[in-house]
Amino acid sequence: MNNKKYYPTALALYFTYFVHGIGVSILGQYKKDFATAWGGHILANGSVDVSIVLAVIAALGLGRLIGYPFSGPISDKFGRRVSGLIGIVLYVCYFFGLIAAPNMYVAYIFALIGGAANAFLDTCVTPSCLEIFVNSGDVANMFTKFSISISQFLLPFMIGIVSANHMTYKTIFIVTGILLAIDGILIAFMPFPPMNTSAKSDKPKEEKMKFTPTSIAVILIGFTCTSTFQLWLNCNQELGKLYGLAKPAQIQSYYAMGSMVAVLVTAALVKEFLKPVKVLVLYPLLSTIMLLIIYFVQTPTICLIGGFVIGFSAAGGVLQLAVSTANSMFPANKGKITSIVMLASSAANYIILNAAGAITKSGGTNGPKYVVLFNVVITVIGVILALYVNRQYAKHAVA
């Protein structure tokens, strides 16, 4: 099969993740604007309470939780294209719905829709890329993260351009919504590769997914690795302010830069000599060390260095490699296993961010520091899980 004819399709699919990178980050960058638009309370110091925006951001994770039980089976049964188009339609609704929402309750509903959109995109893009790039699936899947990182790196510059030209904060939402709609029209007509599923199998009993402790550990890594970068992504600006950083928004650029470098470096390492399961240990371990340094070394510079290192080690493809590893365990159920790992990831998004909100509120001025400690605990659990997975892989290799 000549897979080169599917490369334009892969490019269009990667673009959906470029837009997704903006979708999951932009609310965190415009907390004050949205809190004001949605009727947030004015605090004693005159600033607006942004906790309602954090609640809406957390709803993205809940939306993913709702979407994945449907998106995986739909992808495997009706095709990757169907799953992708559903995701695009929902994401366009998310972008336009948020800027039209009169209060946080309506915004919450659109955030749920945005989370469901992410679920349908995941169960389209990841299996499709694994089926297009058959011999380099791990690397191909990591480039979904690269697409996200590029947009997250460019986002602060986009915001700067919008601000310099005195345009409304809604501008980026409108532009990305339109671009995604155009991309959806292209995807509707582009060719997709044959699905690598067991749909034509003569042995239906073999289609049942049998979970082992190892596969469950990989799924749980989806929870822990997502927790690491989501906690940092949504709470780093408050930490930067606490540590005296003049422009906390810079942390986002360093974070995105780190994740982009990581994808390129890790892709090269995985392609040549490093097994993906090794990365599942090394990168979270690096994240743990960096988070501890950030907690004890409280300077503005460490926030920027930390942004790069956390971007590299936590958001540089660990989740994508966990998904690829899980897919290798269930080759006949790519859509379903992708949705299951991402369910764990979504649970992290919802549970961990709500917990972070509670920690920030109860911790007072030191709340952001306590969130860092909380992040350390979660990341260490991820390291332990990855060590177990590596041990099991080593046993099978010897056997």
Lowest-confidence pick of 148-162, 203-217, 231-245, 276-290: 203-217
> CB of 17 within 8 A of CB of 144?
yes
8-12, 264-268, 273-277, 390-394 — most confident range: 8-12
Q: What is the mean pLDDT of residues 235-243?
A: 88
The phi, psi pair for 103, rounded to 5°, reads: -155, 175
Q: What is the mean pLDDT of residues 44-60?
A: 80
pTM of the model: 0.79
CA distances from 100 to 112, 146, 197, 302 (A): 15, 30, 41, 38
> CB of 185 within 8 A of CB of 38?
no
Q: Which of these, 55, 83, 90, lies nearest to 69 by C-alpha position? A: 83
> CB of 322 within 8 A of CB of 337?
no
> CB of 293 within 8 A of CB of 375?
no
Residue 383, pLDDT above cutoff 50: yes
399 pLDDT tier (thresholds 50, 70, 90): very low
Residue 360, pLDDT above cutoff 60: yes
For each of the domains in the chain, give its residue range(s) and CATH number, in order of start: 3-398 (1.20.1250.20)
pLDDT confidence of residue 316: 77
Average pLDDT along the chain: 87
